């Protein structure tokens, strides 16, 4: 940026700063203008430096909305049961991790507020006769869906489980991967953690004990939510 002629050095009298001469007035004006311009330059530079951070934040928001990044949240510490007569998925990953409860959670017990879990990630999943229940102490909150012709579908589905059972089969499975290198679904685990992945997964008679579930899109046809004396 072009600057005004530097008159301040010529018109400054260190021994008599308050002389009030025209040269002093001109110098003061030039100095004030220079400060204002430099101030504007600093603001512009700061704005430019802020752009990368803004872009990164916006990118993270988009990725989260698309289910590409798992949303981290404090779990309640109350496990829930999920069952399905059949699960079919493409893009399967599985690795270990830790879920954390909110500070001071009454459900922490002697766990320190942490639960050791296995994260299962599926790029696209279809579930038949989905049932989910959570024991509220004497009664269960029960959710069912996908019992009719239309099945439950989910994209970028992740479940954090302590128990998973069923009759499973996989296509092109890889066992022993580093969890940070997984590429079959939109999830990655910590570096140095054991994991596995496959092109497809099929599980009959699925049963899980979960602490968290996330999905980019979750469609539940025939959804029913009710209280029940028994769970799934």
At 206, list the tokens. Answer: 């699925």
Indicate the range of 39-53, 80-94, 127-141, 213-227 predicted with least confidence: 39-53
Task: Please state the rounded mean pLDDT for residues 15-41.
Answer: 49
Per-residue pLDDT at 55: 37
Per-residue pLDDT at 39: 52
Cβ neighbors of 203 (< 8 A, separation 6 or more) are 84, 86, 87, 166, 167, 168
pLDDT tens digits, one per residue of 158-215: 999 999 999 999 999 999 999 999 999 989 999 999 999 999 999 999 999 999 999 9
pTM of the entire predicted model: 0.70
169 vs 65, more confident: 169
- Radius of gyration over alpha carbons of the chain, in Å? 30
Q: Is residue 44 very low, low, confident or very high in pLDDT (cuts 50, 70, 90)?
A: very low
Q: Is residue 34 very low, low, confident or very high in pLDDT (cuts 50, 70, 90)?
A: low
Mean pLDDT value across the chain: 80
Task: Please state the rounded mean pLDDT for residues 87-94.
Answer: 98
């Amino acid at each position: 940026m072009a600057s005004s002629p530097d008159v301040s050095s010529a018109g400054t009298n260190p021994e008599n700063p308050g002389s009030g001469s025209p040269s002093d007035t001109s110098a003061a004006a030039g100095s004030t203008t220079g400060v204002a311009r430099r101030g504007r330059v600093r603001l512009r530079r700061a704005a430019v430096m802020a752009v990368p951070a803004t872009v990164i934040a916006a990118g993270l928001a988009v990725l989260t909305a698309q289910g590409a990044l798992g949303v981290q949240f404090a779990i309640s510490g109350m496990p829930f049961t999920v069952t399905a007569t059949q699960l079919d998925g493409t893009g399967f990953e599985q690795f270990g991790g830790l879920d954390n409860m909110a500070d001071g959670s009454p459900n922490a017990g002697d766990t320190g507020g942490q639960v050791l879990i296995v994260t299962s990630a599926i790029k696209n999943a279809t579930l038949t006769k989905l049932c989910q229940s959570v024991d509220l102490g004497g009664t269960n909150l029960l959710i069912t869906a996908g019992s009719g012709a239309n099945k439950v579908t989910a994209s970028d589905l992740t479940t954090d489980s302590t128990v998973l059972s069923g009759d499973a089969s996989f296509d092109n499975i890889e066992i022993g991967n580093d969890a940070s290198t997984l590429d079959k679904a939109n999830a990655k685990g910590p570096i140095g953690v054991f994991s596995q992945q496959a092109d497809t997964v099929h599980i009959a008679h699925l049963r899980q004990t979960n602490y968290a579930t996330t999905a980019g899109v979750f469609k539940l046809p025939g959804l029913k939510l009710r209280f029940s004396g028994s769970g799934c």
